[in-house]
């Protein structure tokens, strides 16, 4: 089997339920309650958010016995079950190849190879832009792209809302997003397959996932370039279907 290398990946994220990914802005009780949007008012998914769910996806892979060998190589920095000080590969194993998580995502002592960018909305652009610019929104909740949402905690005995426990935030509809992640060095296929598996294994993004919010499905493909020309692509699912062969490369 030929050894392939990849320079970037195009990733699609399809939301199945409403979601909330904060903008990082706000004051008081509404801090981080607004959705991240672009200058036209269309929702975007921050690259930092996608980085976080991919990191969790990579870590979740290690719970499968199939990845026992990879789990044993993860450094203390990325293992929350190891007591402090949790040192990254660059410090605990200088001169050796970094573990899978340090390689892709980096640590406090080194940068990962992935450059993240915000993911743009690819759902019904002809419908979304006029709706947002006019300030109008469908009365049908299934057609509302951004909707305010309030929640609260209440006293179980009396059913009254607890003081200072009324929360407000915006929810986005079940939209579709796409983005490109680029690698600072060519990634060999036997490493890229882990990234593909982590994304395919990701099931949710954003806040309130335990309540069914942010359910999603990720897909995508890797691409190789030579002299600024694309010469090869590989779908995530195609690589993962043959993961046992590619791990042995």
pLDDT value of residue 142: 45
List beta partners, residue 13. 177, 218
pLDDT value of residue 131: 57
Contact indicator for 213, 207 with CB cutoff of 8 Å: yes
Regions of the chain short of the pLDDT cut 70: 1-2, 22-33, 124-145, 147-156, 159-169, 243-249
* pTM of the predicted protein model: 0.80
Domain ranges of the chain: 5-19+45-126+174-247
Cα–Cα distances in angstroms (integers) from residue 105 to residues 3, 5, 66, 143, in the given order: 23, 18, 22, 36
pLDDT value of residue 28: 47
DSSP state of 227: T
Give residue 48's Cα distance to chain centre.
8
Angle between helix 47-61 and helix 189-200 axes, rounded to 10 deg: 100
Rounded CA separation 191/187 (Å):
7
pLDDT in tens, 63-75: 787 778 888 888 8
Instruction: Please enumerate in sequence order all residues whose Cβ is within 8 A of that of 164, keeping only pairs 6 or more positions apart, or say none.
Output: none
């Amino acid at each position: 089997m030929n050894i392939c290398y990849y320079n970037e990946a195009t990733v699609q994220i399809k939301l199945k339920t409403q979601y909330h990914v904060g903008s990082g802005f706000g004051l008081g009780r509404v801090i981080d309650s607004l959705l991240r949007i672009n200058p036209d008012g269309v929702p975007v998914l921050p690259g930092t958010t996608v980085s976080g769910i991919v990191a969790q996806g990579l870590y979740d892979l290690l719970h499968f016995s199939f990845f026992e060998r990879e789990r044993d190589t993860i450094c203390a920095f990325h293992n929350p079950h190891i007591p402090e000080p949790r040192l990254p590969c660059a410090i605990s194993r200088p001169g050796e190849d970094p573990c899978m998580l340090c390689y892709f995502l980096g640590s406090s002592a080194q940068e990962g190879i992935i450059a993240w960018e915000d993911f743009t909305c690819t759902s019904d652009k002809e419908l979304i832009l006029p709706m947002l610019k006019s300030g109008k929104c469908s009365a049908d909740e299934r057609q509302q792209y951004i909707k305010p949402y309030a929640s609260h905690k209440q006293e179980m005995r009396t059913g009254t809302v607890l003081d200072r426990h009324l929360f407000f935030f915006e929810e986005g509809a079940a939209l579709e997003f796409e983005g490109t992640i680029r690698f600072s060095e060519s990634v060999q296929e036997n490493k890229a397959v882990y990234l593909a598996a982590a994304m395919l294994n990701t099931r949710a993004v954003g806040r309130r996932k335990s309540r069914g919010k942010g359910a999603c499905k990720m897909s995508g493909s890797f691409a190789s370039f030579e002299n600024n020309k694309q010469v090869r692509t590989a779908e995530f699912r195609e690589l993962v279907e043959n993961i046992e062969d590619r791990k042995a490369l």
